[in-house]
Amino acid sequence: MNALDREAILAGLSSAITGSMGGLTVLQRVDSTNSFLLDLPPGEQHAHVVVADEQTGGRGRRQRQWHSPPGGNVYFSLGWRFKGGAPAALPLVAAVGLCRALDDIGLAGHGIKWPNDVLLGERKLAGILVEAQSAGSGPLCAVIGIGLNVDMPQQGADLIDRPWTDLKEHLGDGLPERNRIVAALADQLMSAMAGLMAGGLQPFHADWSRRDLLAGRQVAVEGAGQVVAGRANGIDAEGALRIDRPDGRPLIINSGEVSVHYG
Ligand code: BTN
């Protein structure tokens, strides 16, 4: 698998993005690209992309570990400062940006499992962890971390205990080199964050809904020690998940772990 290379990534960026990028850091090995960005001086975080070949302490959502072996995947973080704090819809808009980047590299058939898992054929292809930190007395800087399975090394395949897939399985010989994938991610994520700042979730709502893998499916949502079952019915204007319960009463879910009932 080709090495991550700063110059090659820069060469693949669209000119509009190159001009507004706050920084690009390419690392061989790091504990977590999200932590690296959060530890940067506040003035260096905004629009800064950090990418690594390996993470020794990769973090996933819900306090899970994100196994991050070297030599095949992409571990990517982008810092973004929002006046007045990170919008609640940020994780959903990040998922749209990620899916658009995957479209750009020629992938088809991927979709989003609320709020922001990217799956292909019911198996996880990429995950997103959004973290935020107060930048002193200034506005909040959010870090959008993406783990994308590109060509999963055996070491990772042996460790992951949930159904997963990688780009290699679907693109075969058409798999672009990792630097091109990172450039596509940087382009689409930065453009999505700029769009979110300008117009909120609304300009992304239709695209998110088009990619919604849960719509119409029977699901169970676990959160705050409770499990609620019903039929997923898309997202509301704020990005919360709408569930129709068996008795017809609607329910709005702001956070939780969703599982799908098959069959
Ligand atoms: C999930 O649980 O689905 C989210 C996984 C997010 C993993 C990425 S890899 C780059 C960034 N750095 C981290 O430590 N986590 C995120």
Average pLDDT over the chain, rounded to an integer = 93
Interval between CA 245 and ligand 1 midpoint (Å): 32
Ligand 1 pocket, residue 66 CB under 6 Å: yes
> What does the pLDDT look like over 43-52, one tens digit per residue?
999 999 999 9
Main-chain phi, psi angles of 194, to 5 degrees: -65, -40
Give the per-residue pLDDT at 75.
98
Cα 9 to Cα 76: distance, rounded to the nearest angstrom = 12
Ligand 1 pocket, residue 116 CB under 6 Å: no
In this predicted structure, which of 212-216, 227-231, 238-242 has the lowest mean pLDDT? Answer: 227-231
The answer on pLDDT for 102 being more than 90 is: yes
Cα 217 to Cα 230: distance, rounded to the nearest angstrom = 8
> What does the pLDDT look like over 113-172, one tens digit per residue?
999 999 999 999 999 999 987 555 556 789 999 999 999 988 888 888 889 999 999 999
Q: Which of 50, 70, 66 is nearest to 58 (CA)?
A: 66
Ligand 1 pocket, residue 164 CB under 6 Å: no
Ligand 1 pocket, residue 147 CB under 6 Å: yes
Ligand 1 pocket, residue 61 CB under 6 Å: yes
Atom of ligand 1 nearest to the CA of 127: 3
**How is residue 32 written in tokens?**
């977590």
Give the per-residue pLDDT at 103.
98
In this predicted structure, which of 7-21, 74-88, 173-187, 213-227 has the lowest mean pLDDT? Answer: 213-227
The answer on pLDDT for 20 being more than 80 is: yes
Strand 74-82 relative to strand 140-148: parallel, antiparallel, unpaired? antiparallel
Alpha-carbon distances, residue 132 vs 27, 45, 180 (angstroms) = 22, 11, 27
